[in-house]
Structure 1
Amino acid sequence: MASFKLAIRIMITFSLCFPILQAEGATSSPEKVNLTVYYESLGKPCAEFIIRNLGEVFNGDLIDIVNLQLVPWANASINSTNNSISCQNGPDECKLNSLESCVLNLWDDVNKNYALIYCFEFLVIEGRLEKWESCFSELDLPQQPVLKCYNQGKGTQLGRKYVNETANLKPLCKFLPWVMVNNQSIGKDYANFTTFVCKAYKGPTLPAACHKLESS
């Protein structure tokens, strides 16, 4: 178990640091593929997808052709009477949804966002969600901006936006995680999102991850 935890920690650090070195010299491209993940923070299938599958987007320079968007609150509902939000898995999920919303909107850096959310969701899988604050020190990221956003209720405000966005999907979201490539659902084959991304990419140079798929 200890070695597994060490591997996870190395993977988080790699996701945070290495792609940033690649991204510094990269320019945005109109050929990039939109990869959107609608999820709930305490849903086990969502957490498993984030920590076991989604990390592939940072392998083989796939991130160079992807615009990754994470959308929490996907299974929450808004009370039309008082505008409050309820989450399928209770108040703890609303809290984590709020924290992750703040993370996603504080830093314009997909590497930092993914690494921190990965850490949160790993704790969900382990049943240690109460240790979420440890992720900041483990990843050497500032905690105060996220707490300020959360305490001011901005995460919940963002939640209303995300709930409405999810409700307006066509076709409607049927299960979570609901993964879309260029606004098209890939259904229950979401674990194989790399295949769909590579097929959708129309740019001049395929990344190594796509070449690997072709060779296999």
Structure 2
Amino acid sequence: MEIPKMASFKLAITIIISFSLCFLMLETEAAASSSEKVNLTVYYESLSKPCAEFIIRNLVEVFNRDLSDILSLQLVPWANASINSTNNSISCQNGLDECNLNSLESCILNLSDDVSKNYALIYCFEFLVIEGRLKQWESCFSELDLPQKPVLKCYNQGNGTQPGRKYVNETANLRPSHKFLPWVVVNNQPIGKDYANFTTYVCRAYNGPALPAACNKQQSN
């Protein structure tokens, strides 16, 4: 399956934002209770091509379909970064550009609880990574009509690295340890190389009253 071109990108973003608006109206009626929801955690690094492809090509299914009613999504950047014990600085596997993008994405994730809008921005950033246009990341805010100032304030003050240290330690404490990225975990159980099929594992782990259509389709297949 190919990475979407610009037209497909805009369509996907429209779907995500539209979902966000609908979700606000339907949340109390349709969403599973927090105790029933499946925890889906994605450990990744922002300049890794496999991670970017997973975020763009596979993870979008959370919003294209009705899986969001039964799962809680957590994105964890900085996954292959390391902390220098001498000066407490963070080094990233793919260099300074990756640390900068990790910082931006950390700011986004920690400034807002709106999962769909956070994902839309990160989707846009990772789309630019795939296209080799990372330096144009500021265009994502205007493309999505989302506020830029709070994220830039966080980023320019270096606050994106504060949660970065938390994310680095969280990844380091994974049991079993991650072997590659993206490292996808469903209810604390890693799904290994089959991460593209995360929907199957989410549906199996869900114990709520009614399976969404996405799970029924999985069962029929």
Q: TM-score, normalised by structure 2?
A: 0.94
- Distance of 1:4 and 1:69 partners within structure 2: 26
CA contact (8 A) 2:15 2:64 kept: no
- Distance of 1:101 and 1:188 partners within structure 2: 25
- Distance of 1:49 and 1:24 partners within structure 2: 29
Q: Mean Cα displacement is larger for which, 16-25 or 176-185? A: 16-25
Match of 1:175 in 2: 180
Q: List gaps (5 residues or longer) in structure 1.
A: none
Matched letter for residue 120 of structure 1: F
- Distance of 2:157 and 2:5 partners within structure 1: 37
- Distance of 1:39 and 1:31 partners within structure 2: 25
Q: Mean Cα displacement is larger for which, 23-32 or 201-210? A: 23-32
Q: Mean Cα displacement is larger for which, 38-47 or 59-68? A: 59-68
- Distance of 1:132 and 1:60 partners within structure 2: 27
- Distance of 1:20 and 1:108 partners within structure 2: 14
- Distance of 1:74 and 1:92 partners within structure 2: 15
Matched letter for residue 24 of structure 1: M
Match of 1:8 in 2: 9
Q: How does 1:1-216 map to 2 (within 5 A)?
A: 4-27=5-28, 28-216=33-221
- Aligned Cα root-mean-square deviation (Å): 1.1
- Offset from partner CA, 1:174-198 (integer Å, 9 cap, x none): 1000000001100010000000000
Aligned length: 214
Deviation at 1:12, TM superposition (A): 1.0
Q: Mean Cα displacement is larger for which, 106-115 or 22-31? A: 22-31
Matched letter for residue 8 of structure 1: F
CA contact (8 A) 2:79 2:167 kept: yes
- Distance of 1:97 and 1:35 partners within structure 2: 20
- Distance of 1:94 and 1:183 partners within structure 2: 26
Indicate how the Cα distance of structure 1 residues 19 and 70 shifts in structure 2: closer, same or farther if over 3 A, else same.
same
Q: Which runs of 4+ in 1 moved over 4 A?
A: none
Matched letter for residue 122 of structure 2: I
- Distance of 2:21 and 2:218 partners within structure 1: 24
CA contact (8 A) 1:13 1:115 kept: no
Deviation at 1:151, TM superposition (A): 1.0
Deviation at 1:62, TM superposition (A): 0.6
Q: List gaps (5 residues or longer) in structure 2.
A: none
Over the matched positions of the two proteins, sequence identity in percent amounts to 76
Deviation at 1:123, TM superposition (A): 0.1
- Distance of 1:158 and 1:24 partners within structure 2: 31
CA contact (8 A) 1:68 1:110 kept: yes
- Distance of 2:164 and 2:197 partners within structure 1: 28
Indicate how the Cα distance of structure 1 residues 23 and 29 shifts in structure 2: closer, same or farther if over 3 A, else same.
farther
Q: TM-score, normalised by structure 1?
A: 0.96
CA contact (8 A) 1:98 1:159 kept: yes
